[in-house]
Amino acid sequence: MLARLAAVLTCDSALAQGQVGAQQAAPAVAAEGRHIAPGLTNLADVPVWKRITLGAYNSVNPLRHALDAARVRVGESADEILGRPAFHFNPEKSDVDLVVVSVAELGFHNGAPLADIHRRAGELGLKLCPVEVAPLLRLAYTNQPRGEFLNVAMRPIATYAGELVALSIANAGTGPLLIGGDGRPELVMNRMAKFVFVRPARIASPNLR
């Protein structure tokens, strides 16, 4: 088991694909039971799932120490982009409200590319997460159900090799995971895949066509 987990963590995207595939047979229920009705047209009344505080860390080393102290297993590509210049730390503390929605709940019942998922969420008034959200959410979400996999909607960060990576948090039954996966805009996600977005404090009713 330990050897298998080590192999998985050296290839974050392999775990990501496995978890997304597993979601095909799982019910589309948002974390902590906050299910959002299919066919979303307005998020004005959607309750906040979690609130986290940005700015808790000002550099990568304290963040890595916190993840290690919490016994979070960090995948190779995830660990790499934590230290990339594009991974920005909020200079001041501020709260952000998060919601969880599935690809199907955004209206894509046959799956959709990441670019379309992000676009549709923006039409509904949601925002991409600051990159800092993923590790902070990993630290805060200590009771993540076994088998749950959440993609953090964010602008991908390039590795040294130029591969675009987005972060996800998961519980594969071996403890909390922070992993990196394919962040290319054209990557097609399964309809059951779940995404974490920022819900602004005030969301006006979208003018959808």
Would residue 204 count as lying in a domain? no
Q: How many CB atoms lie within 10 A of CB 109?
A: 12
Per the structure, how many domains does the chain have? 1
pLDDT at 100: 94
Would residue 43 count as lying in a domain? yes
**Of 95, 179, 189, the residue nearest 144 (C-alpha):** 179
Beta bridge partners, 168, equal: 151, 179
Would residue 113 count as lying in a domain? yes
Q: What is the pTM of this model?
A: 0.81
Would residue 151 count as lying in a domain? yes
What tens-digit pLDDT sequence spans the chain (209 residues)?
Answer: 333 344 434 446 444 444 444 343 333 333 333 334 445 666 655 678 999 999 999 999 999 999 999 999 999 999 999 999 999 999 999 999 999 999 999 999 999 999 999 999 999 889 999 999 999 999 999 999 999 999 999 999 999 999 999 999 999 998 999 999 999 999 999 999 999 999 998 654 443 33
- Classify 171 as helix, strand or coil: strand
pLDDT at 45: 53
pLDDT at 47: 73
Catalogue the E-assigned strands of 122-203: 149-152, 157-158, 164-171, 176-182, 188-189, 194-198
- Two tokens at 154? 């964010």
Report H helices in 124-207. Answer: 133-140
Beta bridge partners, 158, equal: 164
Nearest 5 degrees, angle CA 97-CA 87-CA 91?
65
**H/E element holding 79?**
helix 76-82
Would residue 180 count as lying in a domain? yes
Amino acid, single-letter form, for residue 149: F
Would residue 153 count as lying in a domain? yes
The boundaries of the domain holding residue 138 are: 2-198
Would residue 143 count as lying in a domain? yes
